[in-house]
Structure 1
Amino acid sequence: MAKNSDGGKRKPLKLKTGSFDRNAAMARMGMMAGASFATHTVGNLFRSKADREARNREFYVKQAQFLADELGQLKGSVMKVGQMLSVYGQYFMPPEAIEVLRSLQDDSPPVAWEDLEPVVIERLGRKRLDELEIDPEPLAAASLGQVHRARRKSDGRELCIKVQYPRLADAIDSDIRTLTNIVRLARLVPKGMELHSVMEEVREMIYREVDYDRELRMTREFGQRLAHDDRYVVPEVFPEYSTETVLVTSFEAADHVQSERVKNLAQERRNHLSESALELFFLEFFNWGIVQTDPHFGNYKIRINDDGKDQFVLLDFGATREFAPRFLGSYYDTVAGAFEGDQAKLIDGAIGINLLRRDSPQRVFDDFAKVGLLIIEPFRKQPPAELSTPDGRYKWGESDLFWRVSRAVQDAAISRWFRIPPREIVFLHRRLGGVFVLLSVLGAELNAHDLLAAYLYQENGRIRPDA
């Protein structure tokens, strides 16, 4: 059975997969969210402006917590939409609500094996299933499916079997429509804001993640690309046991990033891992144009080796995205502009990826440039003194950069001249933010100036020594 954050076993969730159960649960959510808003509105009529603002913050937290609790029980696409809203929502939702919705990223209760076993039998057939010995207690549980450890009886090979929750794909469209209305009723988005385009992008992402045939191909693709780089381990896939709703890979032993064993590694070993994590992102973005956009720590585990050459075990390629060359070209200009301190190049790149409007006033360009220059802080040749070791390495573990950037983005998004970013940027920045947090958790001391320069200028060799 999956464990909770305190290390104890958690009671399996009885999955609500029937249309009646799900519709009833979501109708209840809508009524309660609407009633809560009505009560809050009436109460605000008799409060001062300062008191109203404080009560509004409390209200957003309560509404988001209610939504998060209910979605966590329903599982499936509605829970995934909640997770995606925590990514998109930083551009238009109250910060208090975002913090609560982010809790949906982890700590998901498992589903009882008795609800999943019929799915596996139906998809694989009894004969194939009998070749495997499956542990009914899940290794991990998420919004769209969960993973169980298995053993192939013929040779004892240790496997992982990822099972999609029953009838999940059939409910995606109706779940998204219903949840869009609930979010509006809960008043978690500005009045009059058009949610359709955001939800349409979320819908496409969810359909991508429930396509296990595609995930198998992407896992194999990453395995082939990284086959000769011993810093990374990608599980082997087993097509003979895999279907559109069941994915079987090799089991790869590894430690969680936040485990005591990883925390106790020597500084240089953690630095080596941090550089590997950063370079993996650069490889995906600059060289391949294919990025695994889900930064969940469960997807980046660490194998500690006796020879000191520790490795990342890379898991779950369902959120992998391919980026068009035109988008990449403009984004390179944005990064290069920030790296070089060239505001004009940074702004031109941002306009090219539809993040800024060309007719924006100069103050908007200036504010945006400040955000870009802030993000590039760890990649300066000389990091800020208060965050630098004596030999000039950036102290990721002591930096609050991620939160400074988040706050700067939220402040900038208030302006009507800023757009909700295109989906490519939203999910790319989701992964980039995950890399920053990962290096912070590892307590990295790393000067990444030359590493970024090597990838940014690899084709034209125009590295600027003063950048």
Structure 2
Amino acid sequence: GLFADSAIEVLRRELAWECDYKREAVCTRRFWELLQDDPLFVVPEVVSELSSRHILTTQLLAGEPLEQARSLDQETRNRICSGVLHLCLRELFEFRFMQTDPNWSNFLYNASTQQVALLDFGASREFSQQFTDDYIEVVRAAADGDTERVLQKSRDLKFLTGYETKAMERAHVDAVMILGEPFRRDEPFDFGAQSTTARIQGLVPVLLRHRLTAPPPESYSLHRKMSGAFLLCARLGAVITCKDMFDDVYRRYWSRDDEAPGSP
């Protein structure tokens, strides 16, 4: 159930991306264009004349790693976490282009400007429209509490083959429903008071024992990024309303033009 070969192949490809600074410069410029008018996030500008395939030089941005943000007031922590989570949704469903490394050191909070600097775009990747069309419906189904639709859309995405045991189907659906909880509740969701990680870990033995196929390659980096965003919200004790956030992203997604913004 580990399908280690698939995971290793994805990691090998991402490591090659991380070592290609010419590619990272392109990704950094793209995110700068996408977020140049964002009130919360700042992306450093690339210094082209001092950059190459082996060297990347960017604007120096001030700030402290978000690990330090635990001492900030609740309102500020909520604002940061709401922004990070909303950015994840925008990256996937609006840009179809995501910085997939959730390392806390890639986010610097500047208390004087009240902005968050985003760093390290080496692991940025594209997502196909077919993938996001199906994935947003998995999240929609989880937000609606529709377990049958979670199962069906998971098959469409090739997370499942359709021949899994009932135990595997239940464990998969339970995991998706747990991750969909913030988008299901009308009231603010208290990330710090949840046992999300422990509940998911409790399902892992069944998922490993009964999985029949490797997850889609896109899902490894996507789930790493989303898990990192959820963990950040938990560590900072965020209490934020996520349902309206996703509902707005979902509505915009299905009213969009087919071309993702900022695509080359």
Tell me the TM-score normalized by structure 2: 0.90
Aligned partner (choices 440, 444, 454) of residue 238 of structure 2: 444
Cα distance in 1 for residues equivalent to 2:5 and 2:138: 28
Shift of 1:195: 4.5
Change (3 A) 1:407 1:300: farther
Residue 58 of structure 2 aligns to a residue in which SS? strand
Unaligned runs of 5+ in 1: 1-90, 93-193, 383-391, 462-467
Larger RCO, structure (CA 8 Å, separation 6 or more): 2
Is it true that 1:346 corresponds to 2:150 in the alignment?
Answer: yes
Residue 66 of structure 2 aligns to a residue in which SS? coil
Change (3 A) 1:446 1:416: same
Is it true that 1:424 corresponds to 2:218 in the alignment?
Answer: yes
1:12-31 matched pairs, under 5 angstroms? none
Is it true that 1:298 corresponds to 2:105 in the alignment?
Answer: yes
**1:405 corresponding residue in structure 2:** 200
Task: Give percent identity, aligned residues only.
Answer: 29
Aligned partner (choices 239, 260, 265) of residue 48 of structure 2: 239
Unaligned runs of 5+ in 2: 256-264
Residue 367 of structure 1 aligns to a residue in which SS? helix
Shift of 1:333: 1.7
Cα distance in 2 for residues equivalent to 1:282 and 1:290: 10
Q: Name which one, 1 or 2, has greater alpha-carbon Rg.
A: 1
Residue 421 of structure 1 aligns to a residue in which SS? coil
Cα distance in 1 for residues equivalent to 2:5 and 2:224: 21
Shift of 1:250: 0.9
Confirm or deny: 8 A CA contact 2:93 2:253 kept in the other structure.
no
Shift of 1:335: 1.0
Is it true that 1:278 corresponds to 2:85 in the alignment?
Answer: yes
Is it true that 1:287 corresponds to 2:115 in the alignment?
Answer: no
Shift of 1:368: 1.6
Residue 98 of structure 2 aligns to a residue in which SS? strand
Aligned partner (choices 55, 67, 80) of residue 258 of structure 1: 67
**1:369 corresponding residue in structure 2:** 173
**1:328 corresponding residue in structure 2:** 132
Residue 302 of structure 1 aligns to a residue in which SS? strand
Cα distance in 2 for residues equivalent to 1:460 and 1:222: 23
1:103-118 matched pairs, under 5 angstroms? none
Confirm or deny: 8 A CA contact 2:160 2:212 kept in the other structure.
yes
Is it true that 1:396 corresponds to 2:195 in the alignment?
Answer: no
Compute the RMSD of aligned alpha carbons. 1.8
Opposite residue 137 of structure 2, the aligned amino acid is: D
Confirm or deny: 8 A CA contact 2:151 2:169 kept in the other structure.
yes
Opposite residue 17 of structure 2, the aligned amino acid is: R
Change (3 A) 1:433 1:424: same
**1:209 corresponding residue in structure 2:** 18
**1:317 corresponding residue in structure 2:** 121
Change (3 A) 1:240 1:441: same
Confirm or deny: 8 A CA contact 1:222 1:234 kept in the other structure.
yes
Deviation digits for residues 204-255 of structure 1 (CA, Å, limit 9, x no counterpart)? 1211111111100100000011011121110010110111111000110101
Confirm or deny: 8 A CA contact 2:106 2:118 kept in the other structure.
yes
Change (3 A) 1:414 1:440: same
Tell me the TM-score normalized by structure 1: 0.52
Is it true that 1:337 corresponds to 2:141 in the alignment?
Answer: yes
Opposite residue 141 of structure 2, the aligned amino acid is: G
Confirm or deny: 8 A CA contact 1:215 1:317 kept in the other structure.
yes
Residue 162 of structure 2 aligns to a residue in which SS? coil
Confirm or deny: 8 A CA contact 1:290 1:323 kept in the other structure.
yes
Cα distance in 2 for residues equivalent to 1:459 and 1:320: 21
Cα distance in 2 for residues equivalent to 1:355 and 1:416: 12
Cα distance in 1 for residues equivalent to 2:243 and 2:253: 17
Shift of 1:459: 4.4
Large movers: runs of 4+ above 4 Å: none
1:118-197 matched pairs, under 5 angstroms? 195-197=4-6
Shift of 1:418: 4.3
Is it true that 1:380 corresponds to 2:184 in the alignment?
Answer: yes
